[in-house]
Amino acid sequence: MKYEDISDLLILNYETLKITIYEEIKPLLLKYTEVTDKWRDLSYQMTPTEVMTQKPTNELQTFGILITLFTEAFFPGKAITKQMVREVIDAKGEFILGILASHLYNEFPRVKDFSVNSSKIQEVIEQNHLVSSADYDFHLMRDMVTKKREFIEDEDGNYASEIIDNRGTIKGVAKLQPYELEGPTLFGDAQEVWLETLGETLNSLDDLTADLFDLISFLWLTSPKSSDGYLEFHSDDALRIRGIKEIKSRNGSNSGYREEDRFNIMRRVAALSSIWVSLAEKKVHIINAKEVPQDELYKFKDFQKLFEVGKIRVAYDSQTGKTKGIYALQIRPTSLLTRYLDGPKRTLGVLDLRVLQYSHVSHRPHKRLTRYLNLQWRIRTVKKSLFQPFKVSTLLKEMDFASRYRPGELRDKFENTLDDLQKDNVIQNWSYVDGIDEDELQKRSWFNNYWTKLLVQIVPPDPIIKENKKKLQLNSPEIEDEVIDRIQTLSDFNWQVQANEKSLYDYKVDNEININTPSTEEVEEITLSPESMKETLEKYNISIRQAAEEIGMSHTTLSRYLRKESKRQNKKNDEKMLRWLIEKKKS
């Protein structure tokens, strides 16, 4: 059967559905001929079992999962046409590949450069900016990963650093605590490769690590995620967005990135996963940094990781079969960061793409100043103080020049950096508010007594002003959450009630659920409803984001439930919320 002969409005049977799904998804996978060749063969032939059951068999592997997404997640119980398949893949192609990513990696181990984030990376390159949190505490945590010299080693060989704001107040403590991945997260020699990567944790803290902090946070906000919230992050994502050149083959075509460049990215991602942070609660006692690991001296919350890593993808040498390093992995920010990205402290602002493209070696002041200015412009847009001048001393502190420079050299580097930012359109223009008094510069203490106290006017580019004035909305479309819910229900939970056995759950049409908890003493009735959930959140002062993580469901799904906007009932999520309410009642 030819694909062109299938009408757009024809209701597809299983055989024509296979062909249609393959032909429509193929353009997204043209680079991966190993995948498309196998899927072409699978789509245009029917096994005896398929003929009998009209369902995909285990032998179809990832392609079978793809078919099931359409029949049981996107269009459960519905007739499907060619046009419906095309519309879903056009709108949700990257999302679908995100769901399939881990299966593709396992089935096609040589498809090493597959990234589900490619379209989002291209979008950022075209727009010349990405989005980041504009919260100052978030900025401090990101800034902390650039300062390895401030991590102090204690007697046990552990490293910790204070997180200090520009007023000298300690906002928290960070410590390095590499952890080993266990169980199903690793395959073959991956554990050994991961441990070797962690060995470079301290040396991997620099401004490139801060770039990855921003990029992973952004992709987590905007790219497909697994049902448990993990982003599939590929080293190529970072290299491409930074403008790193690919290796040229003999015929002049691109043949991929250098292995060294890829693994340098993953060393820093591993470093991010090894950082634990404790933020301050109310008043903080300022003590000697060498005493930082003694957590009891601070009024701090418990330590939390910044990022969690799931499965990792290791590359193997095609000739020797030996492991070469980590290409891709699953990663997600923890609740410590998500509160600033998609939670109660969410304030998003524009981050100029140049900050990721400047060299972390030769343009460190450029990167640091760009981050700081982008943060301030978002804050000042809200406060309507966009053109408020900066003090030279404040900008110098953010740029963090080496202490070896003399005053005259520092002034030159400061002004040259601002000139470079203007030339690169990171800023529109800059100037000293009151000009420069050359006579003052001839005096003995001109640096501290005069120049560092001067005010500098820095004007942001018009596109940055325009974007920051927008109400940035980066939530995933609702259909994605609903499909993920269906996939979870299909794969993780089988709702069954044994015959002649009384179920504890009485589902009602009005979205309320009553549960009677059996007890030999007293039966307490617990009702699940949006109102009872809101009441519990308020009683225990729990954010929607925190509750969603504790329950084990997506933040947007819980938000829709609380707003009574859920389009359908999800029994698995209902069960999770019920059990969460029961636990809260017991606590």
pLDDT tens for 381-396 read 888 898 999 999 999 9
> Cα dihedral sign for 8, 11, 16, 22?
positive
Residue 118 has a CB neighbour count (10 Å cut-off) of 19
Element housing 275 (H / E): strand 275-279
Q: Which two tokens stand for residue 100?
A: 């399939």
**Distance from C-alpha of 98 to C-alpha of 108, rounded to nearest angstrom:** 15
Residue 189 DSSP class: T
| pLDDT in the model for residue 453 | 95
Q: Where are the beta strands (DSSP E) in 418-530?
A: 429-432, 455-459, 505-507, 513-516, 525-528
Q: Which residues of the chain have pLDDT under 70?
A: 112, 179-196, 198-199, 249-255, 281-301, 315-324, 471-525, 556, 565-570, 572, 586-587
**Distance from C-alpha of 84 to C-alpha of 65, rounded to nearest angstrom:** 18
The CA-CA-CA angle for residues 222, 255, 234, to 5°, reads 25
| pLDDT in the model for residue 301 | 62
| pLDDT in the model for residue 399 | 94
| pLDDT in the model for residue 255 | 64
- What is the DSSP pairing of strand 159-164 with strand 170-176? antiparallel
pTM of the complete model: 0.72
> Cα dihedral sign for 156, 158, 159, 162?
negative
Residue 241 near residue 125, CB atoms below 8 Å: yes
Read off φ and ψ for residue 294, nearest 5 degrees. -80, 80
| pLDDT in the model for residue 542 | 84
Residue 107 near residue 61, CB atoms below 8 Å: yes
Locus of tokens 């100037």: 431
| pLDDT in the model for residue 190 | 61
The candidate with the shortest Cα–Cα distance to 453, out of 433, 438, 427, is: 433
**Distance from C-alpha of 257 to C-alpha of 265, rounded to nearest angstrom:** 12
Looking at the DSSP assignment, which residues form a beta bridge with residue 384?
none
| pLDDT in the model for residue 493 | 29
SS3 210: helix
| pLDDT in the model for residue 267 | 87
The CA-CA-CA angle for residues 308, 127, 100, to 5°, reads 40
| pLDDT in the model for residue 166 | 78
